[in-house]
Structure 1
Amino acid sequence: MNQAILTLDRVDGVSARDYRTLKPAYVPQWLASLAIGLTLVAAIQCGWGDQTLPDFAAWSASLALALALLSALVLTPRNFTVGYLVSLLPFLIAWRVAAMNGAGLLMWVSSFTAVVLLLQFADCVVNDWRRERASPGAWLGTVLWQMTIVRLYFGLNELGHSTEKIFAGLGSFHTLEEGFRHLGFAQWAGLFVILGGLVELASAISVGLGLFARLGALVSLLYFLVATVGFGGEWGRGYAWASAGGGGWEYVMMLLVVFGSVLLTGAGKFSIDGWLLQRRWLPDALRVLCTNKAGR
């Protein structure tokens, strides 16, 4: 009986206690909440004050930051992993909206907030290493964090592409719409811009935040294969990404390798999947979308 309880208390070799204590030790949450709050104020100023954020870009940035602040205030104190990830994604959307529209005030305040969030993450990683350094699996723990960093970057990297399609304003949308027309989409160009943006947003949520990460990795693989084989032409331009006549398949292959690795294993403990699995809130049929057999 005791052995059964011990087994149930482990997910991917990580105990339930590890999930509860997975948080920064030195960078306080009030500082992150304050920084996100100031960023929201800057977004409102840029949207309705100096109007450097045009049309719906003002709403996109402001609503995204409101969601980030709500998560920072409500979710993060209860569970750092979930709250941090849920705050990070909309914050990055707002930061990208500011950069694409040249909203100087919002860009500078967002940069400060980004430093705070980065320090929180680094603090969390180091704190976890410190707790586990005397355990037999300490080295493996550092490898898992290495893959977490890679997953976060490549997953959330899709936000930049998604934001320019569906969050950054009409100017960006119409520019991309014209580009899609040249790819042969004709009168359906606008629809495919939106669909592409939604798929990229789903990829960022699934792979970046680690929510049904294996499913998201599979969808991302298929999306980039269709986009590059059917329309981009990268596979016929040689290897180098920076080359005459357009980029080759170097970067595309890197994306496919990273998404393929997430498809094999899942997202690990710093993810929404890890939290859901630890709390046993997912039926068996859905666990396969989060982690492999060893993880289940």
Structure 2
Amino acid sequence: MNKPLFFAGFVDGVSAGDYRLLAPSHVPLALARLALAATWLAALYCGWGNGSLPDFAAWSAALWSGLALVSALWLTPRVFTLGYLISLLSFLIAWRVAAMNGALILMGVASLAAVVLVLQFIDCMASDWRRNQARQGAWLATLLWQMTLVRLCFGLNELGHATEKLFAGLGSFHTLEHGFQGFGITHGAGLFVVLGGLIELASAISVGLGLFARLGALLSVVYFLVATLGFGGEWTRGYAWASPGGGGWEYVMMLLVVFGSVMMTGAGKFSIDGWLLSKGVLPGWLVRCCTNRAALT
């Protein structure tokens, strides 16, 4: 199987045999581990110390922040991209749970940890730029990072919606359940809340982390069309998102454009797909769920 274009040495310096080059060079991994360990301890304290995280929100914050720490300790040193993305997704869920429940200690610690994770990403991106400045295709490598930044932002944004449905506690869940009942769903509203949360979580994993990104982007486009045409009413309220009668289709259109672009091309090198493609372990039909035909020629 041919390797995708974005692994060609003249484009970005990342080959199938040396994917480890895609890593930060200045921000130490130990700093991120320390920040994530502090976040996990804060989650434990807010769950069972001062009780600011109610019911299963305490468990979800502790489990997700713990997963972020485990990934940073075990996986990130081996494959930075894979470990970083898993840690980032898990950390963001715990941070969102804290914010939705007003767990101030966890919010403060997580905010500091977020700075470290952002610096790691910037360092990784800058290190890749420096490696490719003198190479043919350096501008293309820059465009890949631009799209990566957009993909991460819009893909992981879905975690906020998934978390409020699945992980933030019974108060948030019942509020959304009543919201679905307002759409006329009198029976099984809770099931719709869970289903919507699972789809949004899958979208964050597929598009944000870049796991079978083309397939996930397609399903995300279908989901948002169904949600907005069938329930949200955004397409009938005009363009502006901030309007007296509720949000219009401005933001929905941005989501569709971003997810549609990922559906066309795939996630690129800073993704789980990128790592899988570099290993050459995927059958042909799954490769097409990750990247398009042009990348394989």
Alignment TM-score > 0.5, same fold: yes
Deviations 1:145-175 (A, max 9, x none): 0000000000000000000000000000000
- Is the Cα–Cα contact under 8 Å of residues 211 and 271 in structure 2 kept in the other structure? yes
Deviations 1:255-279 (A, max 9, x none): 0000000000000000000000010
Q: How big is the shift at 1:9? A: 9.0
Does the C-alpha gap of structure 1 residues 146 and 28 become closer, same or farther in structure 2, counting only changes over 3 Å? same
Cα distance in structure 2, aligned partners of 1:143 and 1:11: 11
2:61 is aligned with 1:84: no
Does the C-alpha gap of structure 1 residues 33 and 60 become closer, same or farther in structure 2, counting only changes over 3 Å? same
Does the C-alpha gap of structure 1 residues 11 and 283 become closer, same or farther in structure 2, counting only changes over 3 Å? farther
- Aligned residue for 1:101? 101
- Aligned residue for 1:53? 53
Cα distance in structure 2, aligned partners of 1:22 and 1:201: 26
Cα distance in structure 2, aligned partners of 1:113 and 1:47: 19
User: The residue matched to 2:84 in structure 1 has which SS?
Assistant: helix
Long gaps (5+) in structure 2: 9-13
- Aligned residue for 1:65? 65
2:272 is aligned with 1:261: no
Cα distance in structure 1, aligned partners of 2:41 and 2:172: 24
- Is the Cα–Cα contact under 8 Å of residues 213 and 289 in structure 1 kept in the other structure? yes
- Aligned residue for 1:148? 148
- Aligned residue for 2:168? 168
- Is the Cα–Cα contact under 8 Å of residues 151 and 258 in structure 1 kept in the other structure? yes
Q: How big is the shift at 1:19? A: 2.1
Cα distance in structure 1, aligned partners of 2:89 and 2:248: 29
2:115 is aligned with 1:115: yes
Q: How big is the shift at 1:50? A: 0.2
7-16 or 115-124, which moves further after superposition?
7-16
- Is the Cα–Cα contact under 8 Å of residues 9 and 15 in structure 1 kept in the other structure? no
Amino acid at match of 2:180: F
Cα distance in structure 2, aligned partners of 1:178 and 1:15: 51
* Higher RCO (CA 8 Å, separation ≥ 6 residues): 2
Q: How big is the shift at 1:243? A: 0.8
Does the C-alpha gap of structure 1 residues 11 and 142 become closer, same or farther in structure 2, counting only changes over 3 Å? closer
2:293 is aligned with 1:281: no
- Is the Cα–Cα contact under 8 Å of residues 3 and 280 in structure 2 kept in the other structure? no
- Is the Cα–Cα contact under 8 Å of residues 153 and 208 in structure 1 kept in the other structure? yes
- Aligned residue for 2:243? 243
User: The residue matched to 2:183 in structure 1 has which SS?
Assistant: helix
Deviations 1:9-67 (A, max 9, x none): 96553522552200001000011011100100000000000000000000000000111
Q: How big is the shift at 1:184? A: 1.2
Q: How big is the shift at 1:214? A: 0.4
Say what the alpha-carbon RMSD is for the aligned residues: 1.3
Cα distance in structure 2, aligned partners of 1:230 and 1:8: 41
Amino acid at match of 2:68: A
- Aligned residue for 1:23? 23
TM-score computed with the length of structure 1 as normaliser: 0.96
Q: How big is the shift at 1:281? A: 1.1
- Is the Cα–Cα contact under 8 Å of residues 7 and 16 in structure 2 kept in the other structure? no
User: The residue matched to 2:289 in structure 1 has which SS?
Assistant: coil
- Is the Cα–Cα contact under 8 Å of residues 7 and 278 in structure 2 kept in the other structure? no
- Aligned residue for 1:290? 290
- Aligned residue for 1:33? 33
Long gaps (5+) in structure 1: none
Amino acid at match of 2:66: A
Cα distance in structure 2, aligned partners of 1:130 and 1:18: 17
- Is the Cα–Cα contact under 8 Å of residues 81 and 270 in structure 1 kept in the other structure? yes
- Aligned residue for 2:177? 177
TM-score computed with the length of structure 2 as normaliser: 0.96
